[in-house]
Amino acid sequence: MSHYKTPVEDISFVLFELLKAQKLSDLPAYAEASEDLQRAIIEEAGKMAEQVLLPVNESGDREGCTFDPESKAVKTPSGFQEAYKTYIEGGWSGLSSDSEFGGQGLPHLLKIVVDELCCSTNLSFGMYPGLSHGAIDLLSQHGTDEQKSTYLPKMIEGRWTGTMCLTEPQCGTDLGLISTKAVPDADGSYAISGTKIWITGGEHDLSENIIHLVLAKLPDAPEGSKGISLFVVPKFLEDGKRNAAFCGGLEHKMGIKASATCVMNFEGAKGWLVGQPNQGLKCMFTMMNAARIMVGIQGLGLAETAYQVSLGFAKERLQSRSLSGPKSPDQKADPIIVHPDVRRMLLKQKLFTEGARAMAYWTGLHQDLSHAAEDETQRQVSDDIFQLMTPVVKAYLTDEGFFSTDAGLQSMGGSGFTQDWPLEQLLRDGRIARIYEGTNGIQAMDLVGRKLVMNGGRLPRTYFAELEKLIEGLDNDVHREHCKSFLQATQKALAWLAQNAPNDPEHAGAVASPLLKMFAYTTLSVMWANMAQLSHDEHVSERFSGDFLAGKRKAAEHFFRVYKGEQLALLDDVVAGKDTLMDLAENEF
């Protein structure tokens, strides 16, 4: 069944009214990215998502990927090869990539929009090109000229795909414990030996070649994370011979079953150093940061589909009468959307999807400005915001995207729990997003331990200054004060952290997650206040329906009513530090 329609109206509202993304075409790097072109891309991406990806989503989940132990080959579900061919023929794989190597050179913000549509309609499919985009970014920034010319054109075209090979059976987050070895060969290559697990797209039948980016240690490498190097290891070598990089089996997962998650065995495979020796982790963060934004968008995309399904269900499902009297007297019962508790769940979904879209796109806009703004100061400001917001987008959108999807299932009752409706698959598929590319607890520690202290604490200062500009532009005095209260609560939390964490680092670990959520709420408060203000603009009202704009205004009021108190509760959690959390001895659990 068709249960998803591209939310063109809301995407357009955020891009062209809230963020003024059409102004990107004023920058030389994005001169071709006119509003008309951006709108055309969104329209075509919506068709691709609805007509190509969505039809093979449910069947892909039921069929899954299959592994042949003899050939060590992986077969993707029926229809995926055709869908991938359509995807690359449409040029989607190179949308934001460098035009020097065949990409279209368009803003990353547009790629984020396309990623959302792919994740909304077929998350498993989106994993294949998604990891390739990260590999492309890494090689573009850290590869040699020869590596770029060898790999980038075909990866950007989509004929080759990419992976990131980090995790091993004995280590995940603590990559300093990896045991994969890289031994120098006489021809300048390296023999890569070791086992990697949970490798997305490690083996499949969609592309002609798979380019693995592998973390390994040189023979004389220092201990720990300072001794990690990065290598590019193709499945097929330039002469067409098969490299000694083989799939050892597929992981058995609760979701994203059509995404090939592989155990990869490197048996003396030929690889080439990327970047400097022992600097592999630094290089890999280029790919990980890109992947973390993509994963955050997964939470948004799944939640959007869940909202559309549960909202449609609530408008049609008849159950009991409204507490204030019959709303559909010609029917035996009223649709469940009349019931306050159902509305509570639906509003939670609406607030998340529309607010998270604004926050994610705002972050993506600053990613583009950090690269392409002509003014050096603007590039620095935007890079600060993008760096700080990356863990926030990844963690908040995947956490709350999952909870939002769960709210949609709950509002549908028993129907939501069945395979007759897509919510149960969305919930299973979305659960992993809170874990991979660094668990959300790790994202919070990245925020507290790295982003907040980088460059003498410049990133949060830049963030607050940028939000203060947006707050001062508000006409609504009440909304302005609400936003200030969110911002001030976060600043109080940071002041407490600065005073207490240096003497006891466990305090930082204890408060990291609630503090990350405070940054998300602060950003959302400013996004919602500005969206509400735009809903009153007479020029905006000429381009959007009255119901759409009224929904923005009323949703903003609900946001402030519900989340202002939650922000203060999070502040209480932060200033409590590790009290009670670290008090129990291990045998008292």
Classify residue 119 by burial, with Cβ atoms within 10 Å: 0-12, 13-18, 19+.
Answer: buried
Segment 354-359 mean pLDDT: 98
Residue type for 40, please?
A: A
Q: Is 527 a member of any domain?
A: yes
Share of the chain above pLDDT 90, in %: 96
The reported pLDDT for the residue numbered 16 is 98
Cβ 168 vs Cβ 263: under 8 Å: no
The reported pLDDT for the residue numbered 285 is 80
Share of the chain above pLDDT 70, in %: 100
| φ, ψ for residue 457, nearest 5 deg | 80, 20
| Residue bearing tokens 């989940």 | 61
Q: Output the CA–CA distances (angstroms, integers) from residue 439 to 291, 299, 443, in the order listed.
A: 13, 14, 6
Residue 130 pLDDT > 60: yes
Report the domain count for the chain.
Answer: 1
Which residues are marked as active site? 437
Q: Output the CA–CA distances (angstroms, integers) from residue 211 to 115, 154, 170, 245, 257, in the order listed.
A: 21, 10, 24, 10, 22
Q: Which of 226, 233, 93 is nearest to 157 (CA)?
A: 93
Interval 244-258: pLDDT, tens: 999 999 999 999 999
Domain residues for the domain of 568 are 439-589
| Residue bearing tokens 């989106």 | 126
CB atoms within 10 A of CB 576: 15
The reported pLDDT for the residue numbered 2 is 61
Strands 160-165, 209-216: pairing is parallel
Interval 512-531: pLDDT, tens: 999 999 999 999 999 999 99
Q: Which of 464, 106, 67 is nearest to 252 (CA)?
A: 67
Give the pair of three-digit tokens for residue 91: 């040029």
Q: Is 368 a member of any domain?
A: no
Interval 387-434: pLDDT, tens: 999 999 999 999 999 999 999 999 999 999 999 999 999 999 999 999
The reported pLDDT for the residue numbered 291 is 85
Q: Is 561 a member of any domain?
A: yes
Q: Is 507 a member of any domain?
A: yes
The reported pLDDT for the residue numbered 217 is 96
**Average model confidence (pLDDT) across the chain:** 96
- The string of DSSP codes covering 336-396 is GGGSHHHHHHHHHHHHHHHHHHHHHHHHHHHHHHHHH-SSHHHHHHHHHHHHHHHHHHHHH
The reported pLDDT for the residue numbered 430 is 98
Helix (H/G/I), strand (E/B), else coil: 242: strand
Segment 432-459 mean pLDDT: 96
Q: Is 225 a member of any domain?
A: no
End-to-end CA distance of the chain: 47
CB atoms within 10 A of CB 159: 14
The reported pLDDT for the residue numbered 177 is 86
Q: Which of 181, 208, 200, 206 is nearest to 264 (CA)?
A: 200
Grade residue 330 by pLDDT with cuts at 50, 70 and 90.
very high
Cβ 4 vs Cβ 118: under 8 Å: no
Interval 533-548: pLDDT, tens: 999 999 999 999 999 9
Q: Is 275 a member of any domain?
A: no
For the whole prediction, is pTM greater than 0.95? Answer: yes
16-30, 164-178, 242-256, 334-348: least confident range = 164-178
Q: Is 587 a member of any domain?
A: yes
Q: Is 27 a member of any domain?
A: no
Interval 171-198: pLDDT, tens: 877 777 899 999 999 999 999 999 999 9
Interval 266-324: pLDDT, tens: 999 999 999 999 999 888 887 777 789 999 999 999 999 999 999 999 999 999 999 99
| Residue bearing tokens 């590596």 | 147
The reported pLDDT for the residue numbered 1 is 45
